[in-house]
Structure 1
Amino acid sequence: MLAGEGFDRGEKNTVIAKELRVSLRSVERWRRAWREQGSDALRSSGPAKRPKISAQEFALLEVELLKGTVSYGWPDERWTLSRVELLIEDRLGKTLSVRGVWELLRRYGWSCQQPARRAAEQDPVGVAGWVKDTWPAAKPPRRRSGMDLL
């Protein structure tokens, strides 16, 4: 509605665009709509896109998530975004991208969590020996500058 007030005052498009921090093209489009249909044409039509998964559908999904991954045949207890994506497709019949799954989970208060401890079977002495002995032979040699060749 701020743009409409600027149109009523007779302000130039560039002034309105700078004031509202939008592109000049947007202001031109708004002015055209304002001229043709009045102030009602400038009202918001709501969010650009409704969420694909409703609150009721997410409640069903959350019940499935709380069952854990092992109940669905995964070897560990980690829900990855791709696993949740497969669960949504299987249980709700809807497809989301991995980013869409992340945004959905975040919208309903789920967070990204990493395991707090390392694997119990890790051998720190073996790892240190590998880093000292094997890694230097496996990595490529450093490039020398042209000055060293002379």
Structure 2
Amino acid sequence: MVSRPWRREGLADLGPRLDASRLCRLADALDEGPAVHGFGEDQRWTLARVSDLIARMFHTRYTLRGTGYLLHRMGWSVQVPRHRAVERDEAAIATWWREVWPAGKRYRRSATPGSASRTRPVRRCAHRRPAPGADPGGSRVG
């Protein structure tokens, strides 16, 4: 009977499914963009699209989490595109941030000195209340 490596050495010892040359081919394919690989007009790589591309190119499947780990090892990071209106006026926005925003900004009121609670400030009396069930006279036994 032929002994398989995953039986002899365990699953962790099989190594990566994509070697260095395949990772270079994948990086080149990702640099070409999604439209070149038939993913429509949207120019964003999603984990599902990258996983499908890996399956098409190398006939091996990765889970979405595994694809994310692979991309991270390759130096890719999560990118979230900014959706901005075409009519956006940067000068008006900068003016608003500089002039209007500080006027409407409320500053937090500091707590009463010596108190962490805003609802019950520190009591300023010299005598402490006895604990519940304690002898109010403070007499000692003995």
Q: Which has the higher contact order (CA 8 A, sep 6+)?
A: 1
**TM-score (structure 1 length as normaliser):** 0.46
Report which of the two has the higher share of helix: 1
**TM-score (structure 2 length as normaliser):** 0.49
Which structure has the larger Rg over C-alpha atoms? 2
